[in-house]
């Protein structure tokens, strides 16, 4: 089992930056793929970005490329989401997820952290 705990959310203004963290418990975290999702108010959950255990990054919408960066520190069992030039439409609950090798699905989820971008 892997437990994921997100942190770093908050209220920021448009154009600001924010870094989310996802701390994972459990062994062999370095062999898991990890990703970030978000759910905006009144909308379906949306895939943001993922990083495989080999370090390959995959983005969701093009609007996130160049603004959002995912990284992982396997020594700390932590995944980060650096978000720059935030926009009001980035508002939502951000979730971290982890996938076992060969799973084909997201096996573990965090509880989410709220990000609000507003002037």
Residues ≥6 apart with Cβ < 8 Å to 27: none
**How far is Cα 68 from Cα 63, in angstroms, rounded to an integer?**
9
Query: pLDDT tens-digit profile of 65-109?
Result: 899 999 999 999 999 999 999 999 999 999 999 999 888 899 999
Query: What is the pLDDT at residue 13?
Result: 98
State the chain's mean pLDDT as an integer: 94
């Amino acid at each position: 089992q892997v437990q994921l705990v997100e942190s770093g959310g908050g209220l920021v203004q448009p154009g600001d930056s924010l870094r989310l963290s996802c701390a994972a418990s459990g062994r062999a975290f370095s062999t898991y793929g990890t990703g970030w999702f978000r759910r905006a108010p009144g909308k379906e959950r949306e895939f943001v970005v993922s990083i495989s255990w080999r370090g390959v990054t995959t983005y969701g919408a093009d609007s996130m490329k160049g603004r959002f960066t995912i990284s992982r520190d396997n020594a700390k069992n932590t995944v980060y989401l650096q978000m720059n030039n935030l926009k009001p439409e980035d508002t939502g609950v951000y979730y971290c997820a982890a996938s076992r090798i060969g799973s084909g699905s997201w096996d573990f989820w965090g509880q989410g952290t709220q990000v609000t971008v507003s002037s």
